[in-house]
Amino acid sequence: MKTIKGPALFLAQFAGDEAPFNSWDAITKWAADCGYKGVQVPSWDARLFDLAQAAESKDYCDDFKGKAAQNGVEVTELSTHLQGQLVAVHPAYDTAFDGFADPSVHGNPAARQAWAVDQVMKAISASANLGLKNHVSFSGALAWPYVYPWPQRPAGLVETAFDELAKRWRPILDHAEENDVNICYEIHPGEDLHDGVTFEMFLERVDNHARCNMLYDPSHFVLQCLDYLDHIDIYGGRIKMFHVKDAEFNPTGRQGVYGGYQSWVDRAGRFRSLGDGQVDFGAVFSKLTAQDFDGWAVVEWECCLKHPEDGAREGAQFVKDHIIRVTERAFDDFADGGTDEAANRKMLGIG
């Protein structure tokens, strides 16, 4: 077994135009002051990171890592959540998702997709230059508007969607293989890869690609009423990244999983700061440790109630309290009888 690394913090929800959140130097100092040992980097945020330069320059990456280390934190992974979303977009979401892309490709879905693929490719190259083995992204979605089967879905619709999704991602996965980097899809509602079944459908279509892996975030499973502990037992070998995020699901006679189009505060299912929701993190950390997960425990703050800076500081201590320093010996070693093969055979009555 291995001890999970952490705590780390995903910086996407904290980067901004005001100090200390507007520069790499300042935000890493702030994260370290909050108690974090690592930071996960949103690759699209130019205030913190130059993706194009990182993909081309090992020197840039060394300086980037060096500044973080000087300030007390490691770079844990890069994220392309926004760019990965644009690898596959159903036309119903064209306008909503245009804002994720460079203005030069707005209103042009084909150009936007090509831009997104190039971005994820660059992030994989940058991950290699940074010496990182895991990279997180979203899968995007072509079938999501048809998630509820009414009207009846025509035969082959979902299969065609997943065939196309796999076709778009296969070259990216192959690039990841060439760079010794795992792509960890965050299993997330709104993506075609939103639960175990859909991950398996995709995995089959990319021929069980070794670089096709998961980011595990139990909050998204609470909101789907999916068994988030059993999920670890099933997919432990593919779980390479971990977002530590809490959630609660409190259905009423008025609303349930779908939330009635309400804001986050008024939904039956909503994200909470660590310890304020319903996730059994003691069990989660135990199962991941037993599965030999040796990646980072990365706090993602998305609480609908608590101030982000309070959530961040509390989250660092929460993760510290849950990381299990694994034992190097069995608890009953004191009773070891020191037997050998001959003694074993004698004990079994086989001479």
Q: Which residue in 8, 236, 148 sits closest to 228, CA to CA?
A: 236
Segment 139-190, tens digit of pLDDT: 999 999 999 999 999 999 999 999 999 999 999 999 999 999 999 999 999 9
Q: Characterise 345 by phi-psi region: left (phi > 0), alpha (psi -120 to 50), beta (else).
A: alpha
Q: What is the pTM of this model?
A: 0.94
Rounded distance between C-alpha atoms, residue 72 and residue 38, angstroms: 8
Give the list of residues 6+ apart from residue 146 with CB closer than 8 angstroms, or none. Answer: 153, 157, 158
Q: How confident is the model at residue 74 (pLDDT cuts 50, 70, 90)?
A: very high
Rounded distance between C-alpha atoms, residue 326 and residue 324, angstroms: 6
User: The tokens 């309400």 sit on which residue?
Assistant: 262
First to last CA, the chain: 36
Segment 176-230, tens digit of pLDDT: 999 999 999 999 999 999 999 999 999 999 999 999 999 999 999 999 999 999 9
Q: Which residue in 221, 220, 216, 204 sits closest to 240, CA to CA?
A: 216
Report the share of the chain in percent with pLDDT over 90. 93
Q: Kindly tell me if the per-residue pLDDT of 335 is higher than 80.
A: no
Q: Which pLDDT does position 330 carry in this prediction?
A: 66
Segment 77-101, tens digit of pLDDT: 999 999 999 999 999 999 999 999 9
Domain count, the chain: 1
Whichever domain contains 198, its CATH number is: 3.20.20.150
Segment 117-133, tens digit of pLDDT: 999 999 999 999 999 99
Q: Which pLDDT does position 327 carry in this prediction?
A: 77
Q: Kindly tell me if the per-residue pLDDT of 105 is higher than 70.
A: yes
Q: Which pLDDT does position 50 carry in this prediction?
A: 98
Q: What is the DSSP string of 80-137?
A: EHHHHHTTSB-GGGHHHHHTTS-GGGTT-HHHHHHHHHHHHHHHHHHHHHHT--EEEE
Q: How confident is the model at residue 344 (pLDDT cuts 50, 70, 90)?
A: confident
Q: Kindly tell me if the per-residue pLDDT of 18 is higher than 90.
A: yes
Please state the rounded mean pLDDT for residues 309-320. Answer: 97
Domain membership of residue 16 as a residue range: 5-347
